[in-house]
Amino acid sequence: MNPRIKPLFENPSNPIRPSILEAVQSIVESMMPLPFWETFNCLSQPREIAPFLYRFSKHLPLFQTISPTTVDSPLFFNYLGQSEYTNGAARYVVDMLNRWLVPGKDLESVGSLSLHFHFDKAPSQKFYLRQEILLIQDPSDLESIRQNLEPLIQEMKLNLMAVYHARYISSLKSISVEQKNFIIKKNFSSLFNYSIEDTDISLHDQMQSFLTKLSEDEKIKEVNKNIVHLSKSRPKIFPREVFQEMGEFKSILSAKFIAQRSCRHISRLIAYHYLFKKVLQDQIGENPEPRPFSIKMFHARLSDEKPILGILFGIGLRKETERFEKKQLMKAIRSSISEAQFISDSYIADRKDPKIHFYYLEIARPHDPAAGIGLLKERLPFELDQQVERVLHPVFMPRNEEELLRNIVELSRQLKYARDLPQLIIHYEKQTDFELFFTVTAVRLLTPRTRPIREILQNSSIQFDLEDIRIIGQFKQKYEKEAIILRARLAKAPFFRQDFSLDLLRARGQVVSELNRLLGEFRDFNGGMILKQEEALTLLRKSIQTIDKDLEFLLEDYFHSLKPGIMKTVHEPSVLKEHFSMLVDLLKKGSAEHSPQFKMERKEPFILAFIQSDSPTLRQRLLEAFMEMKILSHQLTSCSLHMENKPILGFIFRFDHPQKAERFETAIHKNLYLS
């Protein structure tokens, strides 16, 4: 027979009924694992029993549930813990069950049984049992209980163990306060997986944490009432599943965050988060283009009455390689309001859904709230979309040594005279997480005034690795030809564009500039056209003079989309500037007007045009019409962009006769409104 339990406290005039003791005995026997009873029954000496029960107490508290299988059946929840240093634990367990087992609904308790007891073989070891009987009347509650029960038990177990350890250690008389603090710190770090070096838990900190926890519990209780009111007043918008969402969202809110914000503030966050999730899931399911996102801004105050502006943002990611993090959100806000001051510990991220992410961040309320929020509403959607980072998988491509040798041979052939410049080929090689690599192949004549390459590279601001250096022949039996293979390393960060794409042309340009400083003038064998185009883009920027960051990004896309590529360097900057201004004007109209939209101007000897249209065949029809006109390639420059989720076509037509200009304009008007 198993050891019998005895009540710790009993009134001789009103003893506990044997049936109650038998019920508690039965529950305890069902909760204890079988090896416990096998070992306990074999022990008879107090010096053996006490250490055994002490070791067992390390595994407390224990929980046991007997879940209902049908509606109108009770749920039996059993809790077994230590009797000492756990005052109030039973109330905590019952409160947690009522509040969170079915969020938003108080379960009806139809009975309970509790007893402080000890085993007859070990009167010094004290335990406590509590059985709570809850009635389940709604079929939907069964699924909620199944999902919430295990996480709830784990949370209660951690909290009860933490309270027990703190109370027990605080009661010790033989050790100093500093020693108590250290032991509590060590126990807490073990329970909650904190590094002991990162914790500083004093008795004052415990009390502060306890008060914060009380504030959190009270606010969540009030928030729960607010959500219940929403669910009852607007059941179609906020069905009962909002309470599950509330439980999940609460898990990402810190106690400090909740304590510093009002119940109304937290309720609004939860409600908008739920609504955003429903809307974005519908949008991304129907069509991932354009990118779905939702933004809500609202005024609030922290507990210290500091006025803030809360920004809740939900975004749909169309591809697995897209990434959006805190730094992108902060950069987008700063791009809209440069003086934005972020509130510490206000950042929240919900990335449980791989396709839909939610972010919340607070900034100090602008000095001019109306203008500040107006500016954010106008600019933030565009900035947020631009900040989505596209992560590309690295490409494994070993360097082609045969191609390197061919390049060396070709460059060697270019050296025909003693005054010829060094010949260089610069190729992009690869990238890592933080660096870009370019391979530089150079061939030069070694004259008496030529400095050794190793000496030259010592003064470089770019890291060049000298991979090979060799003599490949002689020039007229007088000067040796030297071939050099270098690897240039550059940090990636300075070459990210606004959408986090890498500007390899600018990175290559920095390599060219540094080599020019080190080697002097040379011939960029495979970069002549690239250099000319960069010069043309620089002249175009200067002709525009002042330009926003948004337009700078658009200008680069516009310039690099011009076809044929040679026309980028042929057209005068004034022509391209005029054409680009028409593009900006077209975009300023927005999408309010019906598609298609177009602008066309005659600036002799040019016709400049831009068309924004949803038609997938318009471009092909126009090109066929221009072919029938037998327009030469150098007379027609085109560009193709994709802005505001619509394709935009641009044309620069150089005409030599007014009749050709009229035919060109007629061709555009004729095809513009064809379906």
Give the full edge-to-edge strand order of the sheet including 122-136: 5-7, 108-119, 122-136, 73-82, 62-66
Domain-by-domain residue ranges, the chain? 5-198, 218-390, 401-526, 542-672
Confidence of residue 462 (pLDDT cuts 50, 70, 90): very high
pLDDT per position as a tens digit, 24-55:
989 988 888 888 888 888 888 888 888 888 88
Q: What is the pLDDT of residue 202?
A: 45
CA 359 to chain CA centroid, Å, is 8
DSSP H or E segment with residue 21: helix 18-31
From 612, 597, 610, select the one nearest 645 (Cα to Cα): 612
pLDDT at 196 over 50: no
Q: Give me the mean pLDDT over the 167-188 stretch.
A: 58
Q: Give me the mean pLDDT over the 483-496 stretch.
A: 91
Average pLDDT, the chain: 81
Residues 6 or more apart whose CB falls under 8 angstroms from that of 402 comprise none
Q: What is the pLDDT of residue 214?
A: 46
3-state secondary structure 86-126: CCCHHHHHHHHHHHHCCCCCCCEEEEEEEEEEEECCEEEEE
Q: Give me the mean pLDDT over the 494-506 stretch.
A: 81
What whole-number distance in Å separates Cα of residue 275 and Cα of residue 236? 12
E strand intervals along 144-278: none
C-alpha distances (whole Å) from 405 to each of 409, 410, 590 are 6, 9, 54
Residues 6 or more apart whose CB falls under 8 angstroms from that of 474 comprise 480, 481
Confidence of residue 204 (pLDDT cuts 50, 70, 90): very low
What whole-number distance in Å separates Cα of residue 62 and Cα of residue 35? 15
Give the full edge-to-edge strand order of the sheet including 523-524: 463-475, 479-491, 435-446, 423-431, 523-524
Q: Give me the mean pLDDT over the 438-463 stretch.
A: 92
Q: What is the pLDDT of residue 198?
A: 47
* Portion of the chain with pLDDT greater than 90, in percent: 19
Q: Quote the DSSP letter at residue 648.
A: E
Q: What is the pLDDT of residue 208?
A: 46
More confident residue, 248 or 208: 248
- Token pair of 48, please? 């053996």
Q: What is the pLDDT of residue 465?
A: 93
More confident residue, 211 or 350: 350
Give the full edge-to-edge strand order of the sheet including 293-301: 293-301, 307-316, 356-364, 348-350
pLDDT at 212 over 60: no
pLDDT per position as a tens digit, 544-577:
877 776 677 788 889 989 999 889 988 999 999 9
Name the range with the highest mean pLDDT among 64-68, 278-282, 444-448, 529-533: 444-448
Q: Are 483 and 425 in contact (CB under 8 A)?
A: no
Confidence of residue 210 (pLDDT cuts 50, 70, 90): very low
Give the full edge-to-edge strand order of the sheet including 606-612: 597-603, 606-612, 646-654, 636-643
What whole-number distance in Å separates Cα of residue 131 and Cα of residue 145? 17
What whole-number distance in Å separates Cα of residue 647 and Cα of residue 576? 20
pLDDT at 225 over 70: yes
pLDDT at 63 over 80: yes
pLDDT at 107 over 60: yes
Q: What is the pLDDT of residue 483?
A: 94
pLDDT at 382 over 60: yes
- Token pair of 376, please? 């954010």
Q: Give me the mean pLDDT over the 514-539 stretch.
A: 87
